[in-house]
């Protein structure tokens, strides 16, 4: 059989190459058409709205809707201001970390609250200062959960509650770390907490010895102030620390001795949360503190009125979910 000439072979080579590149071009065009069709199924460009700033989710139409009427996405960052009556107990949950700041007094409901969330391990526990309404509940917390470390201002106190608290730490052999200004702890993905106070020596005033924390959850920030009073607030201002935060845990249960005007101006919170018991014997929160908060135009939530208050965030926006939908 006669072999094809070189000219014929070249013809077929050129022909098949042309077909090959033609098909590739058609495939690419088809892909673009498909992408355009998919894009056309989304929202029209003219209807797109920019993502709201964190505080814009804190509107009346959202925050005061009853929980059963809300459809909430799964937020990776959560802060639970647990209603323990006259005391503090704050749970911070991030991607894979749990941090508990104080636990109210003895016999508080913190243990059952944490267990209902499926928690059996606390990466960090912070005891802001030795008063019983902050550390009393930590004694039984140590019996109920695995704890990696406890951070404490380590100021001496002589009460039985404080002695029992120290004894439990020793018996459980939990690392006991003194919290001082500048310490930073990771809380999982894009989350951390920084100790802003105390600086060097915690002093003898137990309230002003409180550990103050700046918690960062991606772009959303909280300032947790323990029971500090104006003396410690002035020290924080003097140290020129960046105090601005979206959410403020109001110091000392809303006492008149805390939350001064200069301090509030620097923090400039969009939301302020007061933790106190209903009809408590101290009269917290005091009218003077409430008036200063009102003048600062921050939105106020109170555990004595709203019950447990949960902040849920995706790291850019946040949502305030009170247990009880009450408009102040």
Q: What is the pLDDT of residues 219-228, one digit of tens each?
A: 999 999 999 9
CA distance 170 to 151: 14
pLDDT at 327: 82
Please, are residues 64 and 327 in contact by the beta-carbon 8 Å criterion?
A: yes
Tokens coding 235: 């020290």
- Evaluate whether residue 16 is within a structural domain: no
Query: What pLDDT does 118 receive?
Result: 96
CB 97 within 8 A of CB 191: yes
Write down the pLDDT at residue 202. 62
Q: CB–CB of 318/246 below 8 Å?
A: yes
Share of the chain above pLDDT 70, in %: 77
Query: Between vectors from CA 29 to CA 23 and to CA 35, what angle results, nearest 5°?
Result: 135
| Residue 172 · residue 142 · CB < 8 Å | yes
The pLDDT-based confidence of 145 (bands split at 50, 70, 90) is very high
Residue 172 lies in a domain: yes
Span 39-53, pLDDT tens digits: 333 333 333 333 334
Measure Cα distances from 289 to 112, 173, 236 in Å.
32, 40, 19
| Res 328: pLDDT | 77
Give 66-98 pLDDT, tens digit per residue.
344 444 447 999 999 999 999 999 999 998 899
DSSP category for residue 3? P
Residue 109: pLDDT over 60: yes
Q: What is the pTM of this model?
A: 0.79
CATH number of residue 280's parent domain: 3.60.15.10
Domain presence at residue 17: no
Residue 65 in any domain: the answer is yes
Question: Domain for residue 95, yes or no?
Answer: yes
Owner of token pair 């919170």: 269
> Is 276 part of any domain?
yes
CA angle 18, 24, 29 (to 5 degrees): 125
185-231 per-position pLDDT tens digit: 999 999 999 999 999 766 678 999 999 999 999 999 999 999 999 99
The whole-number pLDDT of residue 9 equals 41
The encoded tokens of residue 148 equal 């990696």
CB-based contact 199:181 (threshold 8 Å): yes
Q: Which domain holds residue 318?
A: 54-322
What pLDDT, on the 0 to 100 scale, is given for residue 15? 43
In a domain, 183, yes or no: yes
**Number of separate domains in the chain:** 1
- For residue 46, being part of any structural domain is answered with no
> Does residue 169 have a pLDDT over 70?
yes
CA torsion sign for 71, 108, 223, 173 is negative
Mean pLDDT rounded to a whole number for the chain: 83
Of residues 73 and 146, more confidently modeled: 146
């Amino acid at each position: 059989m006669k072999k094809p000439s070189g000219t014929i072979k070249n013809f077929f080579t050129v022909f098949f190459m042309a077909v090959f590149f033609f098909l590739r071009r058609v495939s690419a065009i088809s892909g673009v058409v498909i992408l355009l069709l998919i894009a056309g199924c989304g929202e029209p460009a003219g209807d797109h709205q920019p993502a709201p700033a964190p505080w814009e989710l804190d509107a009346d139409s959202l925050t005061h809707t009853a929980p059963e009427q809300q459809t909430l996405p799964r937020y990776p960052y959560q802060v639970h201001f647990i209603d323990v009556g006259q005391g503090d107990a704050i749970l911070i949950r991030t991607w894979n970390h749990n941090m508990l700041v104080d636990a109210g007094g003895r016999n508080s409901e913190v243990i059952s609250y944490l267990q209902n969330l499926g928690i059996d391990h606390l990466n960090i526990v912070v005891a802001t200062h030795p008063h019983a309404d902050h550390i009393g509940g930590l004694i039984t917390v140590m019996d109920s959960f695995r704890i990696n470390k406890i951070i404490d201002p380590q100021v001496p106190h002589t009460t039985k509650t404080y002695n029992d608290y120290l004894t439990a730490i020793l018996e459980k052999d939990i690392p006991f770390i003194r919290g001082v200004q500048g310490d930073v702890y990771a809380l999982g993905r894009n989350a951390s907490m920084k100790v802003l106070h105390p600086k060097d020596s915690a002093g003898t005033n137990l309230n002003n010895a409180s550990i103050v924390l700046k918690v960062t959850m991606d772009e959303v920030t909280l300032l947790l102030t323990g029971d500090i009073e104006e003396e410690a607030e002035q020290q924080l201002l003097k140290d020129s620390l960046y105090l601005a935060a979206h959410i403020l845990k109001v110091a000392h249960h809303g006492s008149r001795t805390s939350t001064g005007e200069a301090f509030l101006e620097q923090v400039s919170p969009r939301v302020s949360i007061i933790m106190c018991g209903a009809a408590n014997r101290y009269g917290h929160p005091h009218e003077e503190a409430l008036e200063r908060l009102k003048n600062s135009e921050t939105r106020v939530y109170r555990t004595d009125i709203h019950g447990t208050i949960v902040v849920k965030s995706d790291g850019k926006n946040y949502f305030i979910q009170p247990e009880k939908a009450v408009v102040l």
